[in-house]
Amino acid sequence: MNTFENKVVKSNKACHCCGLIHQMHTLRSNQRSLCTRCQSVMDIPRNHERSQGRTAAAAIAAVLLFPAAILLPILEVEQLGHHHQSSILGGIIELFRNGNYFVAVVILVFSILLPLAKILALIELSWLCTLQQRHRAWTYRLMEQIGKWSMMDVMLLALLVMLIKLSGLVQFHFGPAVVAFVLCVTMSMIAAICFDPHAIWESP
Ligand SMILES: [Zn+2]
């Protein structure tokens, strides 16, 4: 471990292809650094402001869509002449009331709390920047872990549809929350893709 690493702007970096160590320098916008041995691209100039801006815009769009996704009806069920609408939040409350605590907690955690935590973490990292550098790095690592579980919301939706189809007797169609839900998931995915973790370390 290089004990001087916090004192230099750019540190040493190994070529990802051949492993030769190079001392890295700050690049101008039209420069790129190549490995002296194998000519692989070592570093390209990064526009942190642009990537942060895109991340923030997509994450804010996701957070604005979130209430619509969980509060508007996601399923409209027709069962024996009765018309029944249910939102994600309403469905969770109903599950709690009926004593299905496990399923209710699973849906609450994976389709509301974790995706929301991920979006809020992205907003903090790309826009608010209230945390110290070290805490931002910690937030980023936590967000990466959360991200692995965020695919669960798509799976939950599939499970929901499967359960209703299995019950056979009901006719259903999707409510407006599906559009908000899909857009919200898409926006949070775009935010995560646009985010450049280098910005955590290279911003002043
Ligand atoms: Zn190389």
199 Cα to the center of ligand 1, angstroms: 24
Cα distance between the two ends of the chain:
22
28 Cα to the center of ligand 1, angstroms: 21
Is 15:22 a contact under the CB 8 Å cutoff? yes
Which range (4-8, 62-66, 178-182) has the least confidence?
Answer: 4-8
Is 10:24 a contact under the CB 8 Å cutoff? yes
74 Cα to the center of ligand 1, angstroms: 52
43 Cα to the center of ligand 1, angstroms: 12
Q: Which pLDDT band, with edges at 50, 70 and 90, does 37 fall under?
A: very high
Nearest-angstrom CA–CA distance, 59 and 175 = 23
Supply the pLDDT for residue 8.
Answer: 46
The domains of the chain are located at 1-45, 48-202
Nearest-angstrom CA–CA distance, 62 and 39 = 40
Q: Which residues surround ligand 1, an ion (CB under 5 A)?
A: 15, 17-18, 20, 35, 37-38, 40
Which one of 1.20.140, 1.10.150, 1.10.287, 2.60.40 gives the CATH number of domain 48-202?
Answer: 1.20.140
Inform me whether the pLDDT recorded for 199 exceeds 90.
Answer: no
182 burial (CB, 10 Å; 0-12 / 13-18 / 19+) is middle
Please give the average per-residue pLDDT across 127-145, as a whole number: 84
Supply the pLDDT for residue 168.
Answer: 65
172 Cα to the center of ligand 1, angstroms: 58
Query: Residue type for 134, please?
Result: R
Inform me whether the pLDDT recorded for 70 exceeds 60.
Answer: yes
Helices (H), 20-168: 48-71, 88-97, 101-107, 114-123, 133-150, 152-167
Global pTM value: 0.73
